[in-house]
Chains A and B, each alone.
Chain A
């Protein structure tokens, strides 16, 4: 799959609860509860970083996981959230995103 930029949508509500992230889509009121790994991807989705780099720097650095496997899981995850309008995907950096840097707790 082609490498892409990911950004958090500005239309969602989101809050970190413990190590997990709670997200609700304003468009269809779907509630998501992201596990700690998915939360790392969400926090890093600033619209300026490629997914491969996020996986390499955030996931593979923190978990013992094969890079290829981690990337496949991450691609599935971002595609699922993008289908609900929660993440934005693009071939080029996404300048007008709400992707302000999220402080890691």
Chain B
């Protein structure tokens, strides 16, 4: 078991919120076509409020602090907040588009001890990246900021969200990351807007493109292992928690609302009304989230992918049931392995590449579990 896994287990056993994602603003200087946020900036938390909450986070045991937005550097007090967080010894990760990074800011971030900076880069082609951000010149400016941060000695990660409009550009983004000495992560998840509007989901990667991603050795490593059919399910998996959201991590909005995760818009309390520890320990909503074990999931508990699926409880919640399947993750499990999911059989998720649902669908499971048969309605 890695040290990070040990750390998470210990935090879980002590009910410690190890990680907090804090959005300090929803205002942004880009207008990304797939963004899940409204860019309202009214009544945001003040500097004093945020610093007070940071003290509460530290006292409760929070170690990893992600400062994000919107574009966090649009706040004039962003450096003050980051520096205060570092005084409190948080491991700070900053998510920014780097448009406002100049040499002075890059140096200041490095001197403050920010552990890493993540920047979303969508394509190596300016016309594609700038069309997604809806800001002409944004790729060039973001890359300039990245180079300044790298020159200052900061660890930078390229976050490459994949969608219809940039589906084939990830090799170019990978090359840019390598050229600048940066890390690279790829994310094919497009999240519905926090107000429930799911129109942005139309930007999700087409299934055939996602399947190709899962079979790209440069992205997933050993393709055979990555795409292997799910292994047998044991009691450890059935008794496991579906996700760390609400257990060892949570999300705070620019108004102090606490949610289990940025992708899980279940309001659990507001820091302007209650202390962080009061909400963390006493929220009925967090209590409900924490009560759910894999065996309690309404459809997924009978799915052969239960132990390996990336099922997001927040996406499931946005589809109407935090205990139900997340159709996007059903699709990912299917496209990765070729094995149909219980959610697909139950009609929660349909992939154009899935076998037709009419007639008898037979899934071969590992021999120890026998053969599951299900008849479509």
Would you call B16 an interface residue if the criterion is a C-beta within 8 Å of the partner chain's C-beta atoms? yes
Cα distance, A13 to B93, chains bound together (Å) = 11
Cα distance, A26 to B58, chains bound together (Å) = 18
Would you call A17 an interface residue if the criterion is a C-beta within 8 Å of the partner chain's C-beta atoms? yes
Identify which of A10, A11, A22, A29 contacts B63 (C-beta below 8 A): A22
Would you call B116 an interface residue if the criterion is a C-beta within 8 Å of the partner chain's C-beta atoms? yes
Residue ID in chain A nearest B64 by CB atoms: A13
Q: Is the CB of B7 within 8 A of A29?
A: no
Q: Which of B1-58 contact A (CB under 8 A)?
A: 3-4, 6-7, 10-11, 14, 16, 18, 58
Query: Do A17 and B115 form a contact, CB below 8 Å, given A12-B89, A22-B63, A24-B91?
Result: no
Tell me the count of chain A residues lying within 8 A, CB to CB, of chain B: 17
Q: Is the CB of A18 within 8 A of B10?
A: yes
Cα distance, A12 to B115, chains bound together (Å) = 9
Q: Is the CB of A17 within 8 A of B113?
A: no
Chain A nearest CB from B19 CB (Å) reads 11
Q: Is the CB of A31 within 8 A of B155?
A: no
Identify which of A10, A20, A31, A33 contacts B113 (C-beta below 8 A): A10
Q: Is the CB of B91 within 8 A of A13?
A: yes
Chain B nearest CB from A20 CB (Å) reads 8
Would you call B61 an interface residue if the criterion is a C-beta within 8 Å of the partner chain's C-beta atoms? yes
With a CB–CB cut-off of 8 A, which chain B residues contact A12? 89, 113
Instruction: Give the interface centre of A12, A13, A18 by most chain B CB atoms within 10 Å.
Output: A13
Chain B nearest CB from A70 CB (Å) reads 25
Chain B nearest CB from A12 CB (Å) reads 7
Q: Which of B36-94 contact A (CB under 8 A)?
A: 58, 61-63, 89-92
Q: Is the CB of A24 within 8 A of B115?
A: yes
Chain B nearest CB from A48 CB (Å) reads 19
Identify which of A10, A20, A26 contacts B115 (C-beta below 8 A): A26
Tell me the count of chain B residues lying within 8 A, CB to CB, of chain A: 22
Q: Which of A1-20 contact B (CB under 8 A)?
A: 10-18, 20
Q: Is the CB of A17 within 8 A of B10?
A: yes
Residue ID in chain B nearest A33 by CB atoms: B3
Query: Do A15 and B7 form a contact, CB below 8 Å, given A26-B115, A29-B155?
Result: no
Q: Is the CB of B16 within 8 A of A17?
A: yes
With a CB–CB cut-off of 8 A, which chain A residues contact B63? 13, 15, 17, 22, 24
Q: Is the CB of A17 within 8 A of B61?
A: yes
Q: Is the CB of A17 within 8 A of B7?
A: yes
Cα distance, A29 to B92, chains bound together (Å) = 11
Q: Is the CB of A33 within 8 A of B7?
A: yes
Query: Do A29 and B115 form a contact, CB below 8 Å, given A15-B62, A17-B16?
Result: yes
Q: Is the CB of A13 within 8 A of B11?
A: no
Residue ID in chain B nearest A14 by CB atoms: B89
Query: Do A15 and B14 form a contact, CB below 8 Å, given A22-B63, A26-B115, A31-B7?
Result: no
Q: Is the CB of A17 within 8 A of B14?
A: yes
Cα distance, A26 to B89, chains bound together (Å) = 11
With a CB–CB cut-off of 8 A, which chain A residues contact B11? 17
Residue ID in chain B nearest A18 by CB atoms: B14
Residue ID in chain A nearest B4 by CB atoms: A31
Cα distance, A11 to B111, chains bound together (Å) = 8
With a CB–CB cut-off of 8 A, which chain A residues contact B89? 12-15
Which B residues form the contact surface with A (CB < 8 A)?
3-4, 6-7, 10-11, 14, 16, 18, 58, 61-63, 89-92, 113-116, 155
Task: For the A-B complex with A11-B113, A17-B18 known, give 6 more contacts whose Cβ atoms are closer than 8 Å.
Answer: A13-B89, A13-B115, A14-B89, A15-B63, A16-B61, A29-B155
| A-B CB proximity, top 4 nearest | A13-B91, A15-B63, A14-B89, A26-B113
